[in-house]
Amino acid sequence: MKTKPKFSIAEHFETVEDPRIERSKEYLLIDILTIAILSVICGANGWVGMETYGKAKDKWLKTFLALSNGIPSHDTFARVFARLNPEQLQESFLSWITAVKKVSKGEVIAIDGKTVRRSYDKGKNKGAIHMVSAWASQNRLVLGQRKVDDKSNEITAIPELLKVLYQFAFESVI
């Protein structure tokens, strides 16, 4: 008997550990993650964009999310995402994307390194963030990312990224 794929964000993200202490939780983690994912899909950029999207879609979001304290603020999105385990988040996201959108057989997967704009902080002496991404060109999806220490470490991050992608979606990559 073939199992039916799960398309719900909640079903795929339930394994992401909530790093917050119990008494400080005003919003369910799944509500924060769902609004973040939906807002980015709809073109939101950054934490303020997520809050703006949530407020604009408040009535609709309340039909399937708890949101007992309303829409989380941009500061809440920033604080929660800063503490989440990125590997757990990526694993859950890949699981969900794999269920929602199958990668076409023979599709080209581009691997590329980029420096995240405005990710440096001169005041705190922090350099820019460098990421290596796998991009499914036909489906226009980022399938996975890995943070690297600097541009020269991209080559070492690629095998790690391919290993994660292989686990979720591919019989062969390259």
Q: For helices 154-168 and 86-100, what crossing angle results, to 10°?
A: 50
pLDDT for the residue numbered 9: 83
pLDDT for the residue numbered 105: 60
**Can you give the three-state secondary structure of 32-101, one letter per residue?**
HHHHHHHHHHCCCCHHHHHHHHHHHCHHHHCCCCCCCCCCCCHHHHHHHHHHCCHHHHHHHHHHHHHHHC
Q: What 3-state class would DSSP assign to 141?
A: strand
Series of mean pLDDT values for 10-residue runs along the chain (174 residues): 61 92 93 92 88 95 94 96 91 80 66 76 73 77 76 75 66 38
Please tell me the distance from the alpha carbon of residue 114 to that of residue 2, in angstroms, as a whole number.
40
pLDDT for the residue numbered 98: 75
